[in-house]
Amino acid sequence: MRLATFRTGKVFILYDADSLCDANGAPQIAPSTFDPDHWRRQGLITGEAPGRGASLFLDVGGAEWVLRPYRRGGLAARVSASRYLWTGVERSRSFHECRLTAHLFSLGLPAPRPVAAVATRHGPTYEAALVTVRLPAARALAERLHDADEALLARVGATVRRFHDAGLDHVDLNARNLLVDDAERVWLIDFDRCRLRRPGKWQAANLERLDRSLTKFNAAPAMAAIRRGYASHA
């Protein structure tokens, strides 16, 4: 994967040049790519995922993308639901997540392929969005907990361990950010604010966060099988 940057005015775009045409220095992507209304007008939105950012599923002809605008939560959302403090394009949440996702994807880990990220500057603030390739026929683990057997839960644990072994501290490890496709393969998504770290207490903190998530879905007993799968992948 070869990431390249493109700028037009106050809009900064980071994109996968291997999958998007960039002949003559003009990538096959534009600011409108990150505008939900652009896709609505064309009738190419096929659905959306739950969550703060209301990720949209896009039909791009022969493939599907996921468009996820960045949205603030908590008290910060009262000031602005979609704007963040500008400290440089490479420090924007979208560029950071796109580069991290590309790194994980390049390692052969079960992470979605990034398509592009955008950061649009508004003076001292910016808005951002990320586009990734949609994982086909994948459902959130939260939707599978009622029929998840020991083998699937063990694969969940083994998958988390693979990312941990690669140094990924996933700060929002929960049952919605783990997906299961129709081949029963487990994927991990949403690397916003995540980072690569040396081994430490953060691995246990990630697992404890997942444990709390399972409890919210009335599936606390599933964590025992996940921990066994995690341990067995050492």
Farthest CA pair distance, the chain:
56
Amino acid at 168: L
- Using CA of residue 22, residue 23, residue 25, residue 30, what is the dihedral sign? negative
Q: d(Cα 79, Cα 219) in Å, to the nearest integer?
A: 35
**Residues 192/120, Cβ–Cβ less than 8 Å:** no
Nearest residue to 202 (alpha-carbon basis) of 168, 179, 156: 168
Positions marked active-site:
172
Within 13 Å and on the Cβ side, how many CA atoms surround 30?
3
